[in-house]
Structure 1
Amino acid sequence: MKNTVEAMHTDIHRRLRRERVSLGVILVAIAIIAALAVAGIFPVAENDFVSSFASGFLIGLLACAAVFTAKQIHKLRRALADDGALHAFLAAENDELETYLTREVARTFVHLIPPLSAVIVVVTALVGREAMLSAVGTLLVLCTALLVVRFVYKRRLMGPETE
Structure 2
Amino acid sequence: MSTPKPGKIAAQFMAHKREMRLSPAWKALRGNDKLVLERIEEEHMAHGGSTDSLPVTFTDFQEWGVRRAAIAESIARVEALGFVECVERGRPSRAEHRFPAKYRLTYAHGPKVRVTDDWRKVVDAEDAQRRIDEALAELQARTAALSGKLKKSAKQRAEDRALQARNAA
Q: Please give the TM-score of this superposition, normalised by the length of structure 1.
A: 0.31
Higher relative contact order (CA 8 A, sep 6+): 2
Q: Please give the TM-score of this superposition, normalised by the length of structure 2.
A: 0.30
User: Could you say which structure has the higher strand fraction?
Assistant: 2
